[in-house]
Amino acid sequence: MVPSSAAGSRPAEPRELVLVGAGHSHIQVLRSFAMEPPPGVRLTVVVDRPVAVYSGMVPGFVAGQYRAEELEIDALPLARLAGARVILAPALAFDLRSWRLELEGRPAIPYDLASVDIGSTVLGLDLPGVREHALATRPIGRFVERVAEIEARALAASGPFRLAVVGGGAAGVELAATFQARLLARGVQKLEVTLVHASEALLPGYPAGVVARVERALARRGIERLHRRVAAAEPEALLLEDGSRLPCDARVWAAGALGWGFFRASGLATDERGFALTRSTLQLSGHDELFAAGDCGTLEEFPRTPKAGVYAVRQGPFLSQNLRAALAGRPLVRYRPQGDFLTLLNLGDGTAIGAKWRRSFEGRWVMDWKDRIDRRFMRRFQMLELDGAPGPAQEQLPPMPAMEMPCGGCAAKLGQDELGRALARLGPAPPAPEVVLGLAEADDAVAYRLPGGDLVVASVDFFRAFTDDPYLVGRVAAANAVSDLEAKGVAPRWAQALVALPLAAGRSEAEEMLFQVLSGARATFDPLGVQLLGGHTSRASDLLVGFSVEGVASSEQALLRRGGSLEAGQQLVLTRPLGTGVLFHADMAHRARGPWLAAALGSMLLGNRSAAEAAREGGVVAATDVTGFGLVGHLASLLAGSGLSARLSLDALPALPGAVELLARGERSTFHEENARLRRALAVAPAARANPRLELLFDPQTAGGLLLVVPAERAEELRLRLVARGLAQATVIGELCGPREDGALGEVV
CA separation for the pair 44, 293 (Å, rounded): 17
Amino acid code (one letter) for 504: A
Q: Which of 248, 296, 407, 410 is catalytic?
A: 410
What is the dihedral angle through the alpha carbons of 122, 123, 125, 126, rounded to the nearest 10 degrees? 150
Question: Mapping DSSP to helix (H, G, I), strand (E, B) and coil, where does residue 221 land?
Answer: coil
Query: Number of helices (H) and strands (E), helices first, in the chain?
Result: 21, 39
Question: What is the radius of gyration, based on Cα positions, of the chain?
Answer: 29
Burial class (CB in 10 A: 0-12, 13-18, 19+), 737: middle
Q: Answer for the pair 161, 249: CB distance below 8 angstroms, yes or no.
A: yes
C-alpha of 171 from chain center: 27
CA separation for the pair 723, 430 (Å, rounded): 45
Q: Are strands 224-227 and 191-197 parallel, antiparallel or unpaired?
A: parallel
CA separation for the pair 562, 240 (Å, rounded): 66
Q: Answer for the pair 182, 65: CB distance below 8 angstroms, yes or no.
A: no
Which residues is 464 bridged to in the sheet?
409, 544
Q: H or E segment at 536?
A: strand 531-540
Burial class (CB in 10 A: 0-12, 13-18, 19+), 353: buried
Q: What share of the chain is helix, strand, coil (3-state, %, to 5)?
A: 35, 25, 40
Q: Which residues contact 237 (CB under 8 A, 6 or more apart)?
A: 245, 246, 247, 248
Cα three-residue angle 689-694-695, rounded to 5 degrees: 120
CA separation for the pair 632, 681 (Å, rounded): 10
CA separation for the pair 634, 483 (Å, rounded): 14
Which sign, positive or negative, has the C-alpha torsion 547, 551, 555, 557?
A: negative
Burial class (CB in 10 A: 0-12, 13-18, 19+), 715: buried
Task: Say whether 737 is catalytic.
Answer: no
CA separation for the pair 482, 476 (Å, rounded): 10
Count Cβ neighbours within 10 Å for each residue of 638-654 and write b for 16 or more, e otherwise: bbeebebbbbbbbeebb
Q: Which residues contact 690 (CB under 8 A, 6 or more apart)?
A: none
Catalytic residues: 410
